[in-house]
Chains A and B, each alone.
Chain A
């Protein structure tokens, strides 16, 4: 099964892929409205916000978690 290169989410159904396009390597949550992939900073910000919303972490811990998550993903592994 394909995994989103930007957030790691497994992608199986077409509606999980950006723009419903199964040839894309990133998921619907990592796409901008125009279908292009979010930048590192955009993803870091949205992931941090998502962690706060779903787990209630403090901002610093949430950002650290988001950064660690992203460092393991192909789209961002070169970025420190």
Chain B
């Protein structure tokens, strides 16, 4: 096997492990999922997992990083155009719907996770708050939304979303709680902040 083929295969295994780990964290919990089960589900030897990720923590960090990049890149693209608050919030909620099970675990188990994983979670929220704030600032200046402090605007939105996620069994009898309540939550929040 030549060098480039081997490195392609290595990259493929790495991606597969990240994808499989995400599924396993959802199934067994982020704190309790076992690396042996992740390796088995990915069809690789347990030791191979540690060739790609030196510790369980570094694998978890990579999974969170991967999820964060996916969720913030779409919002960044939108915000670079002339997106409205509605567009940005909708893109955010749609991104969360795609990864809802994993994100919910992150929110619920967040305070108990290793420091590195918690930092990554803060990084993701920071990227989202950055785009949301820039859009909000534009809309405040245009007189379309209330002059609410940016941190409260962001924290109110996140608080609302997280409440529905952690109490999902109260708001849905199955499936995605955000998909079910998306329109209502978006409309409510936009009404709350609009002038």
Contacts and interface: CB of A to CB of B under 8 A. Distances in A.
B194 interface: no
Range of interface residues on B (Cβ < 8 Å): 10 to 19
A65 B151 contact: no
Nearest to B134: A54
A53 B133 contact: yes
A16 B126 contact: no
Query: In the complex, which range does the number of interface residues on chain A fall in?
Result: 10 to 19
A55 B126 contact: yes
Contacts of A54: 126, 129-130, 132-133, 150-151, 154
A55 B155 contact: yes
Given A68-B119, A68-B123, A56 B80 contact: no
Listed residue (B80, B122, B126, B129) with the most chain A CB atoms within 10 angstroms of its CB: B126
Nearest to B120: A68
Contacts of A50: 130
B73 A51 contact: no
A56 B123 contact: no
Contacts of B133: 53-54
B150 A12 contact: no
B80 A55 contact: no
Contacts of A12: 77, 80
Interface string A39-65: 000000000001111111000000001
Interface of A: 9-10, 12-13, 16, 50-56, 65, 68-69
29 contacts: A9-B76, A10-B73, A12-B80, A13-B80, A16-B80, A50-B130, A51-B126, A53-B133, A53-B150, A54-B126, A54-B129, A54-B132, A54-B133, A54-B150, A54-B154, A55-B125, A55-B126, A55-B151, A55-B154, A56-B149, A56-B151, A56-B152, A56-B154, A56-B155, A65-B119, A65-B123, A68-B119, A68-B122, A69-B123
Interface of B: 73, 76-77, 80, 119, 122-123, 125-126, 129-130, 132-133, 149-152, 154-155
What 8 pairs across the A-B complex have the smallest Cβ distances? A56-B151, A54-B133, A54-B129, A68-B119, A54-B150, A55-B129, A55-B151, A65-B122
